[in-house]
């Protein structure tokens, strides 16, 4: 039915490539391209051995739009899936505009020299995509991604007005390493060390990093200390659901993780600005990435599960209702299916489903859109089928005041 190029051969790119290859009726031609081609070739060889499906591989440095244009011209895809890093979003969107190709990603653009998570740079492309008749689907992983589709599903089926939204993200897995991040370390550490921020009564409220925390009980896991952090999907959700009075994002962190993080910050290793080292410039956080475990390789001994969902309070037919929708994902099951751990899995599967929605014409309209702006129903159905089943609880205690 369609041809895709996937850029990025990390944990997320690997899962997406596997899942696209497992659905040949939709993805009849797949190209996996990245900066280091050998990583693409290894994934392609694994896919060929497991499913007998051949995928093409290629090299690209997606920091340079002209290289992405050349890549697109070599393969002529319908859709480009950007599963590299957020730094490449704008260069890849420029290349898509130049070549007339549709676009999807899993993380919003951030400038490399400033840890800022804002949609303004990508939303500024809306008119150009509209004029070109091209669709750009932003943030189609789990969070951002599924959490917004879940919110939109709740708004469509269960609420007249959503008033309170808490996105709760727990990783109760154990990878057996003293310290590792579950996705790209540089992006992850930039995200979790920033100041906290949530939406209340029409404005953003800022907190110190990790200042607000409380135990939250996760299904089949139990209570886990959860920390209020800022997360990018809050920005589009409060814009697209203006009845929301308060929107927050909670993530679990273990004490060991937080201690390592504090030390990393205290000794300057989380610094994103270049320093001189033995006559050459290095960026401390990029050097740190080079010595930390590769997130895509964590799967081997990873046990436990993730649990991510939305806890919502609002009004339906004049009555106050509560609703909790969530998915639990086993790291071991994710590894058995795709050779990577649950965090890569919960991101790569929705990216594949978003691409499927596009190729099937269900999520296709000219412009730049966050995922909650499309019909949630076909996407939610596909989550059940492709490895991320979800569950609902109605009128339950949400634990969050
Ligand atoms: P990794 O660091 O494991 O992989 C990133 C891949 O992108 C690598 O193959 C890397 O190549 C490649 N890459 C980096 N820079 C370039 C470039 N300039 N040109 C071409 N390729 C490049 O990251 P993950 O797989 O863990 O994460 C991928 C993306 O998914 C990130 O943007 C992350 O923020 C996002 N994400 C989203 C989530 C969600 O729920 N929405 C959750 C988790 C992640 P090389 O090997 O050469 O460095």
What phi and psi, each to the nearest 5 degrees, are found at residue 22?
-75, -5
Confirm or reject: Cβ of 342 under 6 Å from ligand 1: no
For residue 234, what pLDDT is reported? 98
Rounded to the nearest integer, the mean pLDDT of the chain is 96
Confirm or reject: Cβ of 65 under 6 Å from ligand 1: no
Confirm or reject: Cβ of 347 under 6 Å from ligand 1: yes
Q: Give residue 398 CA to ligand 1 midpoint distance, Å.
A: 34
For residue 221, what pLDDT is reported? 98
Distances (CA, A) of 240 to 234, 235, 265, 283: 10, 9, 35, 37
- Calculate the dihedral angle through the C-alpha atoms of 109, 251, 373, 92, rounding to the nearest 10 degrees: 20
Q: Does an H or E element contain 311, and which?
A: strand 305-316
Q: What is the CATH number of domain 2-138?
A: 3.40.50.720
For residue 204, what pLDDT is reported? 98
Confirm or reject: Cβ of 62 under 6 Å from ligand 1: yes
Confirm or reject: Cβ of 184 under 6 Å from ligand 1: yes
For residue 191, what pLDDT is reported? 86
For residue 1, what pLDDT is reported? 85
Closest-lying ligand 1 atom to the alpha carbon of residue 64: 18
Confirm or reject: Cβ of 241 under 6 Å from ligand 1: no
Task: Kindly report the protein residue whose alpha carbon is nearest to atom 41 of ligand 1.
Answer: 141
For residue 114, what pLDDT is reported? 76
pLDDT mean over 218-242: 97
Q: Give residue 187 CA to ligand 1 midpoint distance, Å.
A: 9
- Please determine whether the domains at 2-138 and 146-342 fall in the same fold group of CATH: no
Give 25-56 as a DSSP string: TTEEEEEEEESSHHHHHHHHHHHHHHH----E
For residue 239, what pLDDT is reported? 98
Q: Give residue 400 CA to ligand 1 midpoint distance, Å.
A: 33
**Can you give the residue ranges of every domain in the chain?**
2-138, 146-342
For residue 190, what pLDDT is reported? 85
**pLDDT tens by residue, 174-222:** 999 999 998 888 888 988 889 999 999 999 999 999 999 999 999 999 9
Confirm or reject: Cβ of 12 under 6 Å from ligand 1: yes
Confirm or reject: Cβ of 144 under 6 Å from ligand 1: yes
For residue 390, what pLDDT is reported? 98
pTM, whole model, 2 decimals?
0.96
Q: Is the pLDDT of residue 116 over 80?
A: no
CATH topology of domain 146-342: Dihydrodipicolinate Reductase; domain 2 (3.30.360)
For residue 385, what pLDDT is reported? 98
For residue 149, what pLDDT is reported? 99
Confirm or reject: Cβ of 348 under 6 Å from ligand 1: no
For residue 179, what pLDDT is reported? 94
Confirm or reject: Cβ of 225 under 6 Å from ligand 1: no
Q: Give residue 2 CA to ligand 1 midpoint distance, Å.
A: 23
Q: How many CB atoms lie within 10 A of CB 280?
A: 7
pLDDT mean over 314-341: 97
Task: Kindly report the protein residue whose alpha carbon is nearest to atom 34 of ligand 1.
Answer: 107
Distances (CA, A) of 293 to 160, 270, 289, 290, 300: 46, 16, 8, 8, 12
Q: Is the pLDDT of residue 376 over 90?
A: yes
Give the dihedral sign, CA 33/236/193/183.
Answer: negative
Q: What is the DSSP letter of 268?
A: T
Ligand 1 binding pocket mutation candidate from 6, 16, 85 (most atoms within 8 A of CB): 85
pLDDT mean over 389-398: 98
**pLDDT tens by residue, 125-148:** 999 999 999 999 999 999 999 999
Confirm or reject: Cβ of 299 under 6 Å from ligand 1: no
Confirm or reject: Cβ of 345 under 6 Å from ligand 1: no
Confirm or reject: Cβ of 34 under 6 Å from ligand 1: yes
Ligand 1 binding pocket mutation candidate from 80, 83, 116, 184 (most atoms within 8 A of CB): 184
Q: Give residue 184 CA to ligand 1 midpoint distance, Å.
A: 6
| Banded model confidence at residue 117, pLDDT cuts 50, 70, 90 | confident
pLDDT mean over 250-275: 93
| E runs forming strands in 131-218 | 135-138, 161-171, 196-200, 203-207, 213-218
């Amino acid at each position: 039915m369609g041809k895709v190029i996937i850029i990025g051969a990390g944990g997320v790119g690997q899962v997406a490539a596997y899942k696209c290859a497992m659905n040949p009726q939709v993805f009849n031609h797949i190209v996996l391209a990245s900066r280091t081609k050998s990583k693409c070739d290894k994934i392609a060889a694994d896919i060929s051995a497991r499913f007998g499906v051949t995928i093409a591989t290629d090299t690209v440095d997606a920091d340079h739009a002209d290289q992405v244009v050349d890549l697109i011209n070599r393969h002529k895809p319908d859709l480009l899936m950007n599963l590299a890093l957020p730094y490449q979003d704008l260069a890849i969107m420029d290349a898509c505009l130049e070549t007339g190709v549709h676009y999807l990603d899993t993380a919003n653009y951030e400038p490399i020299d400033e840890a800022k998570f804002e949609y303004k740079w990508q939303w500024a492309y809306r008119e150009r995509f509209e004029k070109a008749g091209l669709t750009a689907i932003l943030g189609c992983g789990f969070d951002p991604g599924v959490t917004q589709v879940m919110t939109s599903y709740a708004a469509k089926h269960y609420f007249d007005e959503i008033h309170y939204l808490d996105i709760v993200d727990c990783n109760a897995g154990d990878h057996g390493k003293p310290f590792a991040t579950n996705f790209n370390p540089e992006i992850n550490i930039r995200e979790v060390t920033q100041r906290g921020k949530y939406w209340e009564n029409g404005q953003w409220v800022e907190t110190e990093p990790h200042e607000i925390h409380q135990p939250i009980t996760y299904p089949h896991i139990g209570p886990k200390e959860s920390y209020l952090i800022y997360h990018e999907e809050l920005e589009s959700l409060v814009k697209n659901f203006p009845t929301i009075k308060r929107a927050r994002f909670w993530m679990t962190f273990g004490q060991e993780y937080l201690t390592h993080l504090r030390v990393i910050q205290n000794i300057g290793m989380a610094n994103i600005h270049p320093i001189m080292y033995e006559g050459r410039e290095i960026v401390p956080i990029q050097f740190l990435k080079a010595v930390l475990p590769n997130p895509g390789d964590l799967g081997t001994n990873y046990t436990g599960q993730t649990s991510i969902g939305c806890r919502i309070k609002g009004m339906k037919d004049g009555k106050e209702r509560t609703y909790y929708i969530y998915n639990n994902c086993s790291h071991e099951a994710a590894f058995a299916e795709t050779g990577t751990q649950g965090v890569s899995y919960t991101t790569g599967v929705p990216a594949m489903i978003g691409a499927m929605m596009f190729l099937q014409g269900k999520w296709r309209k000219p412009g730049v859109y966050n995922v909650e702006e499309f019909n949630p129903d076909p996407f939610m159905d596909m989550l059940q089928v492709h490895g991320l089943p979800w569950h609902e609880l109605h009128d339950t205690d949400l634990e969050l005041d």
